[in-house]
Amino acid sequence: METKEKDLKQAFYAQPFLKIIGAWPIVIESSLSSKIRKWFIISFSISLQMCIVVPCILVMFLKEKNGRRKINLFMLLTNILNQVFKYVITLNRANELRIAIHEIKKDWLTATPEDRFIFVTNSRIGQRIMLIIAVIMYSSGLGYRMVLPLLKGKIVLPNNVTIRLLPCPTYFTFFNELVSPYYEIIFMLQILAGFFIYTVLSGTIGISLMLSLHMCSLLKILRRKMIDLADGSITSENTMQKRIVDIVEYQTKIKRFLGNTELITQYFCFYEISCNTCLICFIGYCIILEWENRNVIAIVVHFMLLGTCIFVTYIVCYIGQLLLDEVVQTALLQSRVIIYFNMNLYFQSNNLARTCITLNWYHFPTRKARCLILIIIMSNYPVKLTAAKVVDVSLTTFTDVMKAAMGYLNMLREVT
């Protein structure tokens, strides 16, 4: 049991990120102090973002007249609001996330050694991806918010006024934000706000990755059950009946877990894909402007941000593609059964499909072979992630996002 508990910790690689921002579900029976601490973190996090969003909006509409700089401000606001929306969704879906975590724990603790090996293998893949995402996000994001303003240093205007740059534009009427100690306080608050944004992004991707890879593990286990059913070693009709019932129940369990996962992740994926389409366009435009100004440091930082946006979009789409590949292999496993029963079913995934080809239905007694119809009908509804049911989350969507972003960038260049 100790080994199982130790292995289980590997499954929740999104937990450290979500705990920092108070979004990881706490046990309902938690102490009052834990609940107060959680809501304090949530209130502080949202207030911190409002301290950035409100001044940016005021600068954009009341102070800034340059159209190109407004585009830069809009890019900043888009990213902040996107992460705030995802944060609110995470808090709103706390109950669904708690149920999913409970299901994962139960699967890990009741798994056979062979099944647990599948869980551990996929969780290690998720851990590596999360490590890469965290390193890229914090290095590029904090580089944009902290390194770039400090390297530019103080700027002397033609009217002999010296200004110091902040990570985000501000607009305060009650005090001068460029004078100490206001400058240092605002600078640190904006750095903390950036840390919050990158933590939300890492945490929400971690949730999607964790749930998707767990479903991939469940599909691999389902495929193994189907292969064991069709290997010809079962001679008792009663045993075969139990195996078929077990497979049907396991498929139902996967469908139920998918429904819960969709409730949690669909808007994460939607906001991430739609927001990153705009951000890739805007960052590309900023790179062109900095290239014209020959600002090498800004070009390097913006290239890091562009690479981060592209990488995050790819990872989100790759998560969905992993699931689709597993579903296809399972679907192919049943393809010969489909031909046998003359059923025209449509399957979208790859791994599930390869297993279907090897399903020797002709070894089954006639009555038991008919029981496979229920398995086939359930497989007619593919297991996949969607972005708010608008588009499927897959690598095909990633190529569409890149094409759309480049098209918007060309339009933006023509307009400005």
Q: Does the model's pTM come out above 0.75?
A: yes
Of 221, 82, 203, 72, the closest CA to residue 134 belongs to 203
- Which is it for the CA torsion 217, 383, 340, 242, positive or negative? positive
Rounded to a whole number, what is the largest CA-CA distance in the chain? 94
139's CB contacts (< 8 A; 6+ apart) are 304
Give, in degrees to the nearest 5, the angle at Cα 200 between 37 and 277.
160
pLDDT of residue 210: 93
Running DSSP on this structure, what letter comes out for residue 27?
A: P
CA distance 244 to 371: 7
Residue 72: in which H helix or E strand, if any?
Answer: helix 67-92
pLDDT of the residue at 217: 92
Q: What does pLDDT average to in each consecutive run of 10 residues of the chain (416 residues)?
A: 69 90 85 88 92 87 80 86 92 93 91 90 91 89 78 68 77 77 87 91 93 91 80 67 80 87 90 91 89 82 87 92 79 49 36 49 54 59 77 91 92 82
pLDDT for the residue numbered 159: 65
Eight-state DSSP code of residue 362 = G
pLDDT at 102: 92
Domain boundaries, the chain: 1-349+359-415
